[in-house]
Amino acid sequence: NFMLTQPHSVSESPGKTVTISCTRSSGSIASNYVQWYQQRPGSSPTTVIYEDNQRPSGVPDRFSGSIDSSSNSASLTISGLKTEDEADYYCQSYDSSNWVFGGGTKLTVL
């Protein structure tokens, strides 16, 4: 089994750009799709990025995803930050019928 490691927290000002990383401990990051979920306090998670870089309908194009094989990591980038983006963000991937979530990153927009 593998792990996905995320920074515990990040903070940035409204209007700026922030990037959250997600590093896979073993196996290639490119071998299985990476997803990103947003969870606001008291709410269920929702998908903001799936299959590495795809946005579900309704998710603004301020959200983008990418993977970097050299660092074996995935990234979620949010540009033009808004206060409503303040939430916990989780990356997720899988292999061999085992789905794994990262530990989550708390994004503060201040």
Partner 1 sequence: EVQLVQSGAEVKKPGESLKISCKGSGYSFTSYWIGWVRQMPGKGLEWMGIIYPGDSDTRYSPSFQGQVTISADKSISTAYLQWSSLKASDTAMYYCARLNSAYFDYWGQGTLVTVSS
Q: Which residues bind partner 1 (CB under 8 A)?
A: 1, 32-33, 35, 37, 39, 44-47, 50-51, 56, 88, 90, 92-94, 97-104
Q: Is the Cβ of residue 15 or residue 25 nearer to partner 1 in the bound state?
A: 25
- Long-range CB pairs of 24-29, under 8 A, 24+ apart, other chains included: 24/72, 24/73, 24/74, 24/93, 26/2, 27/2, 27/95, 28/69, 28/72, 29/67, 29/68, 29/69, 29/72, 29/73, 29/74, 29/93
- Least distance in Å: CB of 29 to partner 1? 13
Q: Is the Cβ of residue 13 or residue 69 nearer to partner 1 in the bound state?
A: 69
- Least distance in Å: CB of 39 to partner 1? 8
Q: Is the Cβ of residue 56 or residue 80 nearer to partner 1 in the bound state?
A: 56
- Least distance in Å: CB of 70 to partner 1? 22
